[in-house]
Amino acid sequence: MKAKITVSPKKAVLDPQGKTVQNALEHMGYKGILAVHVGKYLEIEVEGDREIVRQQIDEACRKLLTNPVIEDYQFTLE
């Protein structure tokens, strides 16, 4: 199965990339853009018991794949 992990900057953390992309989109004429947040996306191919995999991915997210000081994450197993 595949774990699809989305990592995003925490709300309180300065996101200069998001701001720069927002400015660029506005320059291009796109209207109504309220905010842009730039994060990252990871895919992990994995096998095993679904519930155990879920726990392991969650633990890996906290211990390595994200830094809880600055990032939030969510993931799905497909």
Binding site for another protein (CB under 8 A): 12-14, 16-17, 20, 64-65, 67, 69-70
Least distance between another protein and beta carbon 3 (Å): 15
**Residues 6+ positions from 20 with CB-CB distance below 8 Å:** none
What separation in angstroms does the CA of 36 have from each of 3, 16, 24, 28, 78?
A: 24, 10, 11, 15, 27
Least distance between another protein and beta carbon 41 (Å): 13
Least distance between another protein and beta carbon 39 (Å): 12
Which secondary-structure segment (H or E) carries 52? helix 50-60
Residue closer to another protein (CB basis): 14 or 52? 14
